[in-house]
Amino acid sequence: MQPPSCFIEVAVPLHLEQTFTYKLPLDLQERAVPGLRVLVPFGRRTVTGYILGAAPVSAELKIKEVLELLDTEPLFAGSDLEFYRWIASYYMHPLGEVIKTALPPGLTIMGRRTAVMAADGSIVSEELLSKGTRCRKERHFIASAEETTQALKGRAAEILGFIKSGQGVSAASVRSRFGDAHTQLKRLHDLGLIRSENREVYRDPFSRSVIQSDTPLALNASQETAIESLREGVDAKAFRPYLLHGVTGSGKTEVYLQAISYALEKGRDAIVLVPEIALTPQLVERFRRRFSCGIAVLHSGLSSGERYDEWRRIRRGEARIAIGARSAIFAPVRNPGIIVIDEEHEATYKQSDGLRYNARDLSLVLGKQHRAVVLLGSATPLVTTFHAARTGRIAELTLGSRVNDRPMPDTLLIDGRGRKGTALSPELTKALTDNLANGGQSMLLLNRRGFATWLECRDCGHTLRCPNCSVTLTYHQQKKRHICHYCDHSIPAPSLCPECKGGEIGLFGLGTERLEEEVSALLPDARVARMDRDTTSGRGGHSRILKKFESGGTDILIGTQMIAKGHDFPGVTLVGVVSADTALNIPDFRGAERGFQLVSQVTGRAGRGDQPGKVLVQTMNPGHFALVTAASHNYEAFYDEELAERSDAGYPPFSHLVAIHFSGNSSQLVEKGAKAAADFLRELRQKRGWSMEILGPSAAPLGMIRGRYRWQILLKSSRRAELHRLVQQFRGEHSPHSTVRMAIDIDPMELL
């Protein structure tokens, strides 16, 4: 934009396609640049908008004026805007909402226009503004050049000495050193020896922990080969995507660290994405050890203020490595030269509502834009990623064995068919008992929290279901309540059947709470801990349990998928999977892939120390190829068979998918809306003469959540451009009944 300009183009974070033109009042024209937030009147509201650039001079009378500029520094640069525009177009989502998603939370203030606004429209209620996240300021004392003529003694002299020792000392540090020094400070101030000012400070989420730094490890041959390619990639200053396919425990993290270190040396910055920060404290810690300064961590566990501060440290170039969960793909690093996606197969990279972006896929877009290396790391890459590697679109780097030639653990599939009663098979029971006796640590995975997954009356067969969701209520023994895992609806545990008032109520199905009880009864001397959503609420909940386990304070750790991934606990010599079938049986073409990933990932937790590990997997499908190949640590065998199945059924990588979700309070209207949409799509397809598949509409596998009925349509085509063009046209020309919400999901990862 060539400021000063009178008209600007503004995107607002509302569900609206178009951007808007606003007029700048004279006094704001000098300061207005792209990337700033503005406060603008919108209908009867006042909303935050983002300046995109200058707008053509307009003679239209109705154009409204900007009320206020909310920033002094731009929040995004031209290259960021280019990225946002790509996302808005690909995911068919309003640009304003894309920008809002990309920026740290708490910056977008939305309010109603109130009477506090002055007649000229230039003043807005302070109350409205104070709701947004802002930087923190603290009072600092600075010694003035003046020398004292009066003899200072005692505390006042000491305090002055302390203030003189720095370029500005915060009030907090004076307080922590001298206690209440109010009178002395006032005196120094009155004498003209110090002055005070408010300075910006960062809220540091790590302020309390000191970290020991470390140095790069000597690489083994396969790591060395991988690093050489990556260095070449960085040197090429071109878009270079790589798959780092390394079995669990093969030392992928060390490769990330050294590749990043090389990129930093070359003046480039780095983004590192991990599936979930709370579950990967070890990885974050290794990064902090290696790169003692200049690292910023972004995740939802931080307060908005902390997040905003971390974000600004990156934007200002004070932190050159950004680590975080999926939203860190929007970290404002200045010159990204390497983007690492750890565990690239994880579905958590896909956001499941609002802007349904996939950070793993976006890393490739960003990498292309900035001519960067993109490093996708996994022991169990997505079938689609491996296919891209095999067809030459991604370079493949392989770490074929564990570091120090540690063996992969022995993995046994235990046939659970016909077994009744206990959660643990005789084999797993014996293995747990023996491992405890030998002083080894064990992990037990069960992907269902709570005690029992449903209640059933033995007299009338009544089951307790959620009134708002199509699922049964899970019994939680500690809380003595039946709880819905989708909407948190809960009722106290009944003593009689609510239907027939019979007294014979049975609790069926197995959750982690019941498993913990069973294991404690079986091995009363064992120190047992449980890790699931119920035991990890609150800040630090995860790391408390993980640290205790890591330090040997727990013998057996029971948990949901939270315990399956990433952790490096050398003491673990036994891993048990209580049921591998939940993953296999998801109503989705990805069932086999999820089953393979689950078993391979838990297998990866065993035998990472000097003692070899053992893995027992209980299943009703012991012959399933995904489990058999996972047990024999044979990714390629899994890949070959899965690829053949995908090819037969025409699923990715042989097609591209778009899902269209419908939801609403009226079952009839949702169904009608979905049907009308499908008819319209079929009409469009016929007009265009394109050969895509339109599946459905059908009720979603989870037919109702939070009282909203759910239907969906799935579109499948081998030609992505045609598919997207059709959906784009559909979206422009069709809108469902006003009570039915429609959401378009490009490249869906879940079809629940």
Write the binding mask 301 to 340 for ligand ADP: x where contact by CB under 6 A, - elsewhere. Answer: ----------------------------------------
First to last CA, the chain: 45
- Residue 568 interacts with which of ligand ADP, Zn ion, none, CB < 5 to 8 Å by class: ligand ADP
**Whose CA is closest to 194, among 160, 165, 167, 153?**
160
**Whose CA is closest to 407, among 652, 613, 703, 618?**
613
Based on CB atoms, which residue is closest to ligand ADP, 133 or 253?
Answer: 253
254 contributes a contact to ligand ADP by CB under 6 A: yes
Based on CB atoms, which residue is closest to ligand ADP, 252 or 315?
Answer: 252
- Candidate ranges 40-48, 211-219, 336-344, 465-473; the one touching Zn ion (CB under 5 A): 465-473
Beta bridge partners of 468: none
Q: Phi/psi of residue 578, each to 5°? A: -70, -40
List, as own/partner pairs, every contact residues 97-101 make where C-beta atoms lie below 8 angstroms and the sequence separation is at least 24, other chains included. 97/13, 97/14, 97/15, 97/354, 97/355, 98/355, 99/11, 99/13, 99/50, 100/13, 101/327, 101/330, 101/354, 101/355, 101/357
289 contributes a contact to ligand ADP by CB under 6 A: no
Write the binding mask 548 to 587 for ligand ADP: x where contact by CB under 6 A, - elsewhere. Answer: --------------------x-------------------
How many secondary structure helices (H) and strands (E) does the chain include?
22, 31
Cα–Cα distance, 572 to 441 (Å, whole number): 5
Cα–Cα distance, 593 to 599 (Å, whole number): 10
**Torsion-angle region of 716 (φ positive above 0: left; ψ -120 to 50: alpha; else: beta):** beta
Based on CB atoms, which residue is closest to ligand ADP, 56 or 400?
Answer: 400
Tokens of 81: 């805007």
Based on CB atoms, which residue is closest to Zn ion, 467 or 552?
Answer: 467
- Residue 251 interacts with which of ligand ADP, Zn ion, none, CB < 5 to 8 Å by class: ligand ADP
Beta bridge partners of 456: 463, 506
Cα–Cα distance, 514 to 461 (Å, whole number): 22
Asked, as a colleague might, if the bond just before 4 is cis with ω within 30 of 0, I would say yes
454 contributes a contact to Zn ion by CB under 5 A: no
Based on CB atoms, which residue is closest to ligand ADP, 375 or 700?
Answer: 375
Cα–Cα distance, 625 to 621 (Å, whole number): 9
Based on CB atoms, which residue is closest to Zn ion, 674 or 705?
Answer: 705
Of 205, 251, 336, 664, the residue at the interface with ligand ADP (CB under 6 A) is 251
What would the DSSP string read from start to end of 122-159? ----HHHHHTS---EEEEEEEE-SPPPSSPP-HHHHHH
249 contributes a contact to ligand ADP by CB under 6 A: yes
- Candidate ranges 171-179, 181-189, 213-221, 520-528; the one touching ligand ADP (CB under 6 A): 213-221
Tokens of 703: 């037919």
Based on CB atoms, which residue is closest to Zn ion, 415 or 750?
Answer: 750
660 contributes a contact to Zn ion by CB under 5 A: no
696 contributes a contact to ligand ADP by CB under 6 A: no
Based on CB atoms, which residue is closest to ligand ADP, 249 or 416?
Answer: 249
- Candidate ranges 101-109, 247-255, 329-337, 701-709; the one touching ligand ADP (CB under 6 A): 247-255
- Candidate ranges 110-118, 298-306, 459-467, 633-641; the one touching Zn ion (CB under 5 A): 459-467
**Whose CA is closest to 446, among 301, 289, 360, 556?**
556
Based on CB atoms, which residue is closest to ligand ADP, 252 or 594?
Answer: 252
Based on CB atoms, which residue is closest to ligand ADP, 94 or 613?
Answer: 613
Block residue for tokens 């893995």: 615
473 contributes a contact to Zn ion by CB under 5 A: no
Write the binding mask 390 to 429 for ligand ADP: x where contact by CB under 6 A, - elsewhere. Answer: -------------x--------------------------
Based on CB atoms, which residue is closest to ligand ADP, 60 or 405?
Answer: 405
**Torsion-angle region of 480 (φ positive above 0: left; ψ -120 to 50: alpha; else: beta):** left
Cα–Cα distance, 344 to 377 (Å, whole number): 6
Based on CB atoms, which residue is closest to ligand ADP, 46 or 253?
Answer: 253
Q: Which helix (H) or strand (E) holds 43?
A: none
532 burial level (CB within 10 Å; 0-12, 13-18, 19+): buried
Q: Which helix (H) or strand (E) holds 671?
A: helix 667-688
135 contributes a contact to ligand ADP by CB under 6 A: no
Cα–Cα distance, 431 to 39 (Å, whole number): 64
466 contributes a contact to Zn ion by CB under 5 A: yes
- Taking CB atoms, the residue at the shortest distance from ligand ADP is 251
Residue 286 C-beta: closest distance to ligand ADP, Å: 8
- Residue 219 interacts with which of Zn ion, ligand ADP, none, CB < 5 to 8 Å by class: ligand ADP
Q: Give the number of other Cβ atoms within 10 Å of residue 647's Cβ.
A: 12
Q: Give the number of other Cβ atoms within 10 Å of residue 153's Cβ.
A: 8
Based on CB atoms, which residue is closest to ligand ADP, 247 or 314?
Answer: 247
Based on CB atoms, which residue is closest to Zn ion, 489 or 527?
Answer: 489
Of 248, 258, 280, 442, the residue at the interface with ligand ADP (CB under 6 A) is 248
- Residue 454 interacts with which of ligand ADP, Zn ion, none, CB < 5 to 8 Å by class: none
- Residue 249 interacts with which of ligand ADP, Zn ion, none, CB < 5 to 8 Å by class: ligand ADP
Q: How much of the chain is helix, strand and coil, in % rounded to 5?
A: 35, 25, 40
Residue 106 in contact with residue 304, Cβ under 8 Å? yes
Q: Give the number of other Cβ atoms within 10 Å of residue 117's Cβ.
A: 16
465 contributes a contact to Zn ion by CB under 5 A: no
Based on CB atoms, which residue is closest to Zn ion, 360 or 710?
Answer: 710
Residue 378 C-beta: closest distance to ligand ADP, Å: 9
90 contributes a contact to Zn ion by CB under 5 A: no
- Candidate ranges 61-69, 242-250, 414-422, 493-501; the one touching ligand ADP (CB under 6 A): 242-250
Of 19, 223, 258, 560, the residue at the interface with ligand ADP (CB under 6 A) is 223
- Candidate ranges 156-164, 476-484, 534-542, 567-575; the one touching Zn ion (CB under 5 A): 476-484
- Residue 484 interacts with which of ligand ADP, Zn ion, none, CB < 5 to 8 Å by class: Zn ion
Tokens of 168: 């500005």
486 contributes a contact to Zn ion by CB under 5 A: yes
- Contacts with Zn ion by CB under 5 A lie at 466, 468-469, 484, 486-487, 489
- Contacts with ligand ADP by CB under 6 A lie at 217-220, 223, 246, 248-254, 403, 568
